[in-house]
Every structure is written in C-alpha cells, then in structure tokens.
Structure 1
Amino acid sequence: MRALFRPAFIAWIGLRYGLDGLLLDSFRHPGWSRVGRVLSWGRRLHEPRGQRLREALERLGPIFVKFGQMLSTRRDLLPPDIADELAKLQDRVPPFPSDESARLIEEALGKPIAEVFRTFETDPVASASIAQVHFATLHDGREVAVKVLRPGMLAVIDDDLALLRTIAGWVERFWADGKRLKPREVVAEFDKYLHDELDLVREAANAAQLRRNMDGLDLVLVPEMIWDYCTPTVMVMERMKGVPISQMARLREAGVDIKKLARDGVTIFFTQVFRDGFFHADMHPGNIQVSLDPESFGRYIALDFGIIGTLTEIDKDYLAQNFIAFFHRDYKRVAELHIESGWVPASTRVDELEGAVRTVCEPYFDRPIKEISLGQVLMRLFQISRRFNVEIQPQLVLLQKTLLNVEGLGRELDPELDLWSTAKPFLEKWMHEQVGLRGLWARLKREAPRYAKMLPELPRLIHHNLEHGDANLRRDLAAMLAEQRQTNRLLSTVVWVGVGFLLGLLTAQLFVRLHMLGVI
C-alpha cells in the first residue's frame, strides 16, 4: 500500500501546486489550457510558479529538496524567477518545532540541554532537508553549532528510494538506452549516500578527514568536531562565522576579491578530487561561506559533510588523463582512454569516436563560462554516448553532480572565469607528480613498510619454491639462470673490449703528446 500511496501522493502534490501547468505550458498545446481550467478547483494557482515549485518540493521531502538545490545552481538552464525561489531550499527549508529539536538533543546526548550547554538558541539558524542547526555555547566558553536530524526521515527516504528503484527497473526494461545508463546501479549509489547522510557520526568523521586534508592549503576552513557530543542523530561542532557566498554585494563591500574567490574554488575542487580522492560532494551555495575574520580573510568555509565522494587511484588517473587530453584538444587520446577503460566496446573505431568528441567540444574552447551552454553540451554528449554505447559509471555520479555545482558557483562568482585555463596548470602539475621522479619516490616511501616485511622472507620463499616446487619451475629457473650467465659473459666481454679500446686510445694520445714535446 505504501508503494502505491507514494506515487499517488506525488501526483496529488503536483496537481495541487500546479506543476502540471509548468509542464503542459511548455508544450504550448491548445488543449492544455482547457484541461487546466477543468482541474483548477481547489488548487494553488494564484501564487508565482517558482514559489509553487519550491513549496511542492518541500512537501515531497528530502530527495526532491536536494534535486531542487542542484537545479538552483543552474541559472543558465532555468528562468530567473524559478532559480531565485529554488535557491531558498539551500538553507531555508521550514524548520521543525524547537521543543521537538530540544527533546531529540537531550535524548541523543542522555543529558538535559542545560547540563551540556551554557546557552542554547531555540530558534534554528539554518534548516535544510535532512537536519537543522542551532547555535549554542559550551560551559568552557566555546561557541558551537548543534546539528540535529529531522524526525521520521528514514521512512520517507525509504519510500522515495523504493519508488526510484521501481522507475529505474522500468527504464532499464522498456527504454532502449536503459541498460547502458545503469539506472538501478545509480539509484543504489544514491541510496548509499542518502543513508550515510542520516548518520551524523559518519558526517563528523568526513569533516575531520576533510579538515586534515585541507590543512596547509590556506584556502578553506573546516569546523572542528566536538567528539564528546557527536551521536548518530546529533552533531556538535565548532561554530564558523562567515558570510554566505550567495551574498555577493556584502562580500564586495567587505573587500573580498571575487575573481580570486572563483579561482580558489576551482583549486579546492581539483585538489580534493585529484590529490586526495576525497571531495565535498554537496557544494551548493547554502553549504559555503566566506570568512571575513582578519586572520582568515577571503577563505572559504565549508559546511555540511553528509555527502562525500571518493575516487580510487585508477579513477583519478583516468579522469586526470581525460582532462589533460581535453585541455590539449587531443581528442584521439580521449577516444583511446574511453576504449582502454572499457567505457565503450573494444570494437569501437578510434577515429570515429575521436571525430564525434571533437564535434562536441571544439566549439566551446576559449570561451568564458557565461558563453557555454552546458545543457547543449550534455545533450550532444548524450547523443554521442548513445551512438557509441557508452556505459554510465555509477561510481562517478557524485563527481558529475559536484561538477555541476562547481560550474554553477563559478558562474555566480565570475562569469568571465575560464575554467579550462584555471584547471590546466594544476592537473599538469598533478600528473607530473604522479609519473615523474617525485611520484616514484612517494610511491616507494608509501610501499616501504610492505617491502621491509617481505624482503627478509624472500630468500626463504625462493628456497621453499626450489625445494618443493614442481620440476617445470626448477627447469624454468635453471634456464633463466643459464641465460643470465650467458648474458653476463657477453656484457663482460663488451665491457673489457671497451676498456681495452679506451686504454689504447689514451696510450696513442700520450705518444702523440710526447712526440710533440720532443721527448720521443
């Protein structure tokens, strides 16, 4: 019954808030207006369309709110009135009652609020789809932020995920591109990260790791966790004081270099992705502030660490090579990488894929972000991916989402930002460190403990294999040793011939010099 009720509820919310009108009006069919008038009774159609969409997403729950948050960063794809309303989802979701919040905090910490905090602000400072935040002061004087999960979130999320899994099954079964897009694997990945976000201890651990990674970069601040008061439903952390990055006028008045802020954001993103393989994957403006404190002026402040993306060394290497090939417009290498990684069938012709990628990407180089329509690029890339049977990689879904957030943020900060030229030097340096002598030395140091353990055991293992291995192994090893001895004799002969030739040359030069001096 719950599986049937949720789709019906979504449809009812869509009708009540007039979302069908947004869709039907876009088709401009003459019959839609008559249908709309028939269904207009009891519906909220007098409010602006952006407000109706935002309120409908709020009513539908956290998954839909997160979808709206992502859309709010893409002002190149949305009308301004809708984008402005969706931006309110970032930190202005209606809060749940303060007495309920206090009860949940006391229940999680096992103590009365007055025993934990010297002061506690009952009105939340921020309210999001999963949790809300209150400011407080500990008895030792430290100012903190207290994050508490919304009650009943698990049941709502499970219902929505069940619906998404059903839809993904339909897509995979009935759509020609369904299997290639791997919708069920994508939903499973989304399921994992949403449930991770419901565990605030995991979020606190993510924040601690990110804080260590960013230490020394001097571009971003991450709050310190107060571990004594962190539980799965409540998290207490250092209070960060900054200006939301969306308040551009206030930042300019304070003297913040907005263009530098845009470049720093790109540097932070690529550092997290390619150096650490551990990146903040929920980088909408509601989770980012800018410090105005004199000691950290102009630095980013990162908040909300519920969704963190990770990449393996193979993923990082593959992505970095792709980026560098794009920057150098080496479309043949891009095509080869797609085939080598298995993203496209091995039978794919390199020249055909190279030409298709060039057709999509070449028109967009050397342009500022404001002149690039990512919607058109994605549409063209999708057409190419369908033609060449490119498989969607579920482990990179979060990275793709974060790239959209970063580009949207860059567009807000500096429409003239050239994302390619900003990122290219960083990636080239990263690749040099990976494949050069510094990378070799770093890998040797990383593997040294393992080598130290294995080397003392190596003679015993060789002796054991020689004693107990089969005859073929001993015969192969004997043949290798014989071949090595023959090679050594040959090298020895070459060396001695070379030494003799060198001595002869030196002797001849000595005789010539003595003759010139009249000695002989």
Structure 2
Amino acid sequence: MIPPRQLWRMLHIQRVLLKHGLDELVYAAHLFRPVARLRRIPGFGIRKASRDLPLGVRIREALVELGPIFVKFGQALSTRRDLLPREIAVELAKLQDRVPPFPAAETHRQLAAAYRQPLESLFARFDDEPLAAASIAQVHTAALPDGREAIVKVLRPGVREQIRRDVDVLHSLAALAERYWGEVRRLRPREVVREFDTTLMDELDLMREAANASQLRRNFENSPLLYVPEVYWDWCRPGVLVMERIHGINIGQTAELHAAGIDMRRLAANGVEIFFTQVFRHNFFHADMHPGNIFVNPDEPAQPQYIAVDFGIVASLNPRDQQYLAENFLAFFNRDYQRVARLHVESGWVAPGTRVEEVESAFRTVCEPIFNRPLKDISFGQFLVRLFTVARRFDMEVQPQLILLQKTLLNIEGLGRELYPDLDLWETAQPILEEWMRERVSGRAIVDRLREQLPEVGETIQEFPQVIHAILQRAAEGRLQVEVKHPGIEVLRAELHADRQQRWTTGAGGATFVGGVLWLGLDVSPVAPGWLLLVLGAGLLAFGRLGRPA
C-alpha cells in the first residue's frame, strides 16, 4: 500500500506533466492513465499557453517544476543528442547550469548559519549574482582574504527534503513493480533505487564532495589530460564548498572551441582516455560528466586539457567487477563471444544452469550486425540496447553497482560524438584496457600485491604456531571436531533429524500400543490405564506416520 503522502506526490507529478501539455507521457504511464481525465477540471489541466511552446521547452519547464531528481534526469538525457531530437537535447542542456537561482538573501542566511560569523570576515569579496545554478546547489564567485579567486557552492534550501520525498516515491514504485510485474524483477528495481538513493544522499554532503575532489586531484596531479581545482578546506562546511576558481571554455560551446583552434579529435579521444584511466587505473571515477561540469583549458590547442568541476557523484568498482568488466570489453572488441558468454555465466549474471553455448550464440546474433559496420559508426548506447535483448532472454539481472558506470560511459560517448562525430570509442579504449590487463599479470604487479598483503601474511605466520598447537592439543584430548559445509548439508541434516524423530515416535507409539493391549489382555485392574496406553500408542503411531518423509 502506497502511503497517502507518496500517492499525492505521484498525482502531483501527473498534474505537472498535464499542465505543460505532456499528455503523451501521462498516457505512457499506465498506472496513472486515469489521472489524465483530471485535465478536464478547470485549473487542474493544461494551460493554453503550454501548447504554444516547443516540446523541448515544455519538457524542460516541467522537469524544473518537479524538482532536483527530475532535473538530474534531464541533464543525463541532454548528453545523448544522438538518441534525442536535437531541439529537445538543446533545451535539456540548459538544465546543466541554468536552473532558476534562489535569492541572494537565502544564500547569505545559509552562509551565516554555516560559519556563524559575518561574510566580511571570511571573504574579501562575495558576489551575490550566482555564476551557475543547478538542481542541487548554486555557485557564487568570491575572493579569499589573501586575494585567491574562489567559487562558493551552496545547497539549495529544502533540497534534502525534496529529494527524500521523491526517492521515497521511487522506493514505493520499485516495490510495486517487483510485486506485480514479474518481467521487471530481473532488473532489480529496489536495489537500483537503493543505489540511486545512496548516491543522491552522498551528493548532499559537500564535505564529501570536497574529499572526492581532493582524491581526484591527487590521481591526476601534473597530468596533461585533466586538471582538478584545489579545495580550500578551511572554508568548507557540510552545506558549503569553497574551491579554486577555474577559467576555461565550457565543453558544450563547440563554436568557441573551434575558434580557439582546439584539436577536436584529440579532445574527444582524451575524454575517453580519462574515463577509462579513472575506472581501471585509479578505480575512482567522476560519475556526473555532463557538459555543465566540464571545461577545456585552451592554452595548448593541440593537446587540450580538461578541467572538471562538481564532484558530488563519484564511484568505484570492487576488484572482481573491475576484472570482469575489462575482460568483457576486450572479449567484445575481439569478437570472442564464447569468452563473453563464459564470463557472464561464471559471474552469476545470468540464470543458474544457463548453457554457455546458448549465451554465446545469442551474443553473436545481436553483435555481428553491429561489428560488421565501421567501428566509428557503432554507438555504445545502441550496443547496450542490443545486449538488453539478450539479458531478457536469459533472465540476466541488472547489476546495480554498475549503473553509474554505464550512465557515465553513455555520457562520455555522447559528449565525444558531439565534439568529434567520427569518434571511435572502441579504438581509443582497447589499447588502454589491453595495457591495464598486461599490467595486472606482470611480475611487478604481482610483487606489488604481495607487498600490500605482506603485513596480513606476516600476522598470520606469527599466529600459525599457536594455531597448530591448539589443534594438536584438542586432537590429543579427543575434542577435535571437523565441520563440513555444503549447500545441501543443512537440508540433509534436517531430513536425518526428522527421520530420527519419526522412527522414535513410531517405536514409542508401537511399544505403548502393545503395552495397552497386554494390560487389557491380562485383565489387570484397574482397566483405565490400559485404555489410556492404547489410545496414546495409537496417537503416536498416527503422528509418526504423518511425519514420514515422502
């Protein structure tokens, strides 16, 4: 049962969509299709002006009115201009840093609450006009007392409550979907929403974002590929982030990039290299790479350097997922479908008992038509869509821990193709992955891993004599027990226990019944105990027979 507050929010979402003339979206949501009838009620339905605006504008305005989660959804969509009509993608791109700002007075109130001292004592200059406004926070420019230029990022008022409200709605919808729609269960919607929930809550902690920025800055220190601004820790608070102000060309301003003489092919390829370096070398990647968060340093046009901002969403992979992902990518690059199939079966990503040969054949069927085209014409987005058809056939479960990675890769590819339409993502990524895999099995890597594990191994070796002594002492005293675990052992143990109980009950019942017969047969007085033994024995026999395993 959906709580009334969440149900009201769902109805409000439908109302906003109708108000902006997006009937088709309401009718696509089968659960709330009847709500569309409310458009006939005066004041509830569509404003006449909405129909006069372009579709992209209506979608953008509806997402802004619905709040931060919907704005972030629009931001993600805006990076895939190859999958959306261009006029819609252009409008959604405005959500990246041009969401309506909140008043300067509110900014001052939040800063005063965070620092508990006047702004004049904290900044030599603070600019009330925001530099950028996004779904969760807005950014102001300022100068520190020592003259360093900085940006001050402040959370939107009430944003935590808005996000909590909408995420609770998503949790309820995910639970309903799993309960009533069998097809969606393999997509694991509740786990996906849980992962999304964690990501959003982390993004609201600006101290965490500052720590993310510091880690990324260390990872790319002195790198010609990516520059990460410095965090000014003394001015940071959970609701306020202060960092070095950077200057560059926003990556969405392609005309300015061309005017600056930027090598667009090199720029696009660098973006792919940065992504795969973060995922496989550093295992720490920026997972919100929409154009509003990326700038370009134009000082070296032939070797353009990226500048990243907004580090609220980062992610890592566990070593097992990282290894499987790299091996899957390389197997696809080499069209080794048997290896791809085996990896999916071994990792448990497909239903138990699935035959490798069937998965191999399915992957070959959907992938060969793609790979027979030039690599530059292969869209990773379209490739994922093909893979989903295989996933549906084999009940392949969604891996929630990989969703941020897939989202970021789609963003990077969409951005790269916007910069350089002939971008060959596969050709750029393959050598990076191959080199990483070679390094993983190199002698130096093995030695490094052993060196990392040496302290734990040393402690184990030190404890080894005591462990052996304890084992031998228990064996000498006859107290040594060996426990064997197997997936079916508990079932077998339960069956043996039930069988022992059944045999004991039957035996006791038989003996009791025979005792009653003898008591009555020998005409022992009084006769009542004989009848009692007879009834009790019959009951035990019946109970034992009912408990007999089938």
TM-score interval, normalised by the smaller of the two chains: 0.7 to 0.9
Q: 1:261 aligns with which of 267, 275, 298?
A: 267
| Separation (CA, whole Å) in 2 of partners of 1:264 and 1:472 | 67
In structure 2, what is the equivalent of residue 20 of structure 1? 23
Query: Is the 2:278–2:284 Cα contact (8 Å) retained in structure 1?
Result: yes
Query: Is the 1:21–1:36 Cα contact (8 Å) retained in structure 2?
Result: no
In structure 2, what is the equivalent of residue 111 of structure 1? 117
Query: Residues 166-315 of structure 1 correspond to what in structure 2 (within 5 A)?
Result: 166-293=172-299, 298-315=304-321
Query: Is the 1:137–1:143 Cα contact (8 Å) retained in structure 2?
Result: yes
Query: Residues 68-107 of structure 1 correspond to what in structure 2 (within 5 A)?
Result: 68-107=74-113
| Separation (CA, whole Å) in 2 of partners of 1:87 and 1:67 | 11
In structure 2, what is the equivalent of residue 338 of structure 1? 344
Q: Cα offset for 1:52? A: 0.8
Query: Is the 1:278–1:310 Cα contact (8 Å) retained in structure 2?
Result: yes
Query: Is the 2:95–2:134 Cα contact (8 Å) retained in structure 1?
Result: yes
SS at match of 1:249: helix
Is residue 142 of structure 2 the alignment partner of residue 136 of structure 1? yes
Q: Write the deviation string for residues 247-301 of structure 1: whole angstroms up to 9, x where unpaired.
A: 1121122222111111111111111111222111101111110112469972111
Q: Write the deviation string for residues 144-173 of structure 1: whole angstroms up to 9, x where unpaired.
A: 110000000111111111111121112112
| Separation (CA, whole Å) in 2 of partners of 1:99 and 1:219 | 39
Q: Cα offset for 1:368? A: 5.7
Q: 1:11 aligns with which of 14, 35, 51?
A: 14
SS at match of 2:349: coil
> Per the alignment, do residues 464 and 217 of structure 1 end up closer, same or farther by CA in structure 2, a change over 3 Å counting?
farther
Q: Cα offset for 1:24? A: 6.8
Count of residues in Structure 1 that have an aligned counterpart in Structure 2:
468
In structure 1, what is the equivalent of residue 401 of structure 2? 395
| Separation (CA, whole Å) in 2 of partners of 1:85 and 1:37 | 29
Q: 1:123 aligns with which of 118, 126, 129?
A: 129
| Separation (CA, whole Å) in 1 of partners of 2:8 and 2:26 | 23
| Separation (CA, whole Å) in 1 of partners of 2:403 and 2:95 | 22
| Separation (CA, whole Å) in 2 of partners of 1:314 and 1:188 | 21
Q: Cα offset for 1:448? A: 2.3
| Separation (CA, whole Å) in 2 of partners of 1:450 and 1:167 | 45
In structure 1, what is the equivalent of residue 504 of structure 2? none
In structure 2, what is the equivalent of residue 61 of structure 1? 67
> Per the alignment, do residues 225 and 56 of structure 1 end up closer, same or farther by CA in structure 2, a change over 3 Å counting?
same
SS at match of 2:157: coil
| Separation (CA, whole Å) in 2 of partners of 1:288 and 1:219 | 12
Query: Is the 1:16–1:43 Cα contact (8 Å) retained in structure 2?
Result: no
In structure 2, what is the equivalent of residue 427 of structure 1? 433
Is residue 411 of structure 2 the alignment partner of residue 405 of structure 1? yes
Q: Cα offset for 1:6? A: 0.9
Query: Is the 2:248–2:295 Cα contact (8 Å) retained in structure 1?
Result: yes
Q: Cα offset for 1:223? A: 1.3
Query: Is the 1:135–1:146 Cα contact (8 Å) retained in structure 2?
Result: yes
Give, as a single letter, the amino acid of the residue that structure 2 aligns with 1:8.
L
Q: Cα offset for 1:363? A: 2.2
Give, as a single letter, the amino acid of the residue that structure 1 aligns with 2:142.
A
Give, as a single letter, the amino acid of the residue that structure 1 aligns with 2:60.
R
TM-score by length of 1: 0.85
SS at match of 1:232: coil
> Per the alignment, do residues 389 and 471 of structure 1 end up closer, same or farther by CA in structure 2, a change over 3 Å counting?
farther
| Separation (CA, whole Å) in 2 of partners of 1:436 and 1:333 | 22
SS at match of 1:124: coil
SS at match of 2:195: helix
Query: Is the 2:262–2:301 Cα contact (8 Å) retained in structure 1?
Result: no
SS at match of 2:224: coil
| Separation (CA, whole Å) in 2 of partners of 1:265 and 1:157 | 30
Q: Write the deviation string for residues 470-491 of structure 1: whole angstroms up to 9, x where unpaired.
A: 68999x9xxxxxxxxxxxxxxx
| Higher mean displacement: 361-370 or 177-186 | 361-370
Query: Is the 2:18–2:39 Cα contact (8 Å) retained in structure 1?
Result: no
TM-score by length of 2: 0.80
| Separation (CA, whole Å) in 2 of partners of 1:304 and 1:393 | 26
| Separation (CA, whole Å) in 2 of partners of 1:394 and 1:439 | 29
| Separation (CA, whole Å) in 1 of partners of 2:391 and 2:60 | 33
Paired-residue identity, %: 56
Give, as a single letter, the amino acid of the residue that structure 1 aligns with 2:438.
H
Q: Write the deviation string for residues 217-268 of structure 1: whole angstroms up to 9, x where unpaired.
A: 3310111111111111101011111111011121122222111111111111
SS at match of 2:243: strand
Give, as a single letter, the amino acid of the residue that structure 1 aligns with 2:15.
W
| Separation (CA, whole Å) in 1 of partners of 2:251 and 2:333 | 29
| Separation (CA, whole Å) in 1 of partners of 2:171 and 2:155 | 25
SS at match of 1:44: helix
| Separation (CA, whole Å) in 1 of partners of 2:171 and 2:408 | 23
Q: Write the deviation string for residues 430-486 of structure 1: whole angstroms up to 9, x where unpaired.
A: 111112212211211211232344434434443444344568999x9xxxxxxxxxx
| Separation (CA, whole Å) in 2 of partners of 1:77 and 1:40 | 28
Query: Residues 495-514 of structure 1 correspond to what in structure 2 (within 5 A)?
Result: none
Q: Cα offset for 1:309? A: 1.1
* Cα root mean square deviation, aligned: 2.6
SS at match of 1:108: helix
SS at match of 1:163: helix
Q: Kindly indicate whether structure 1 or structure 2 has the higher relative contact order, using CA contacts under 8 Å at least 6 residues apart.
A: 1
| Higher mean displacement: 168-177 or 454-463 | 454-463
Q: 1:348 aligns with which of 325, 332, 354?
A: 354
In structure 1, what is the equivalent of residue 494 of structure 2? none
In structure 2, what is the equivalent of residue 483 of structure 1? none
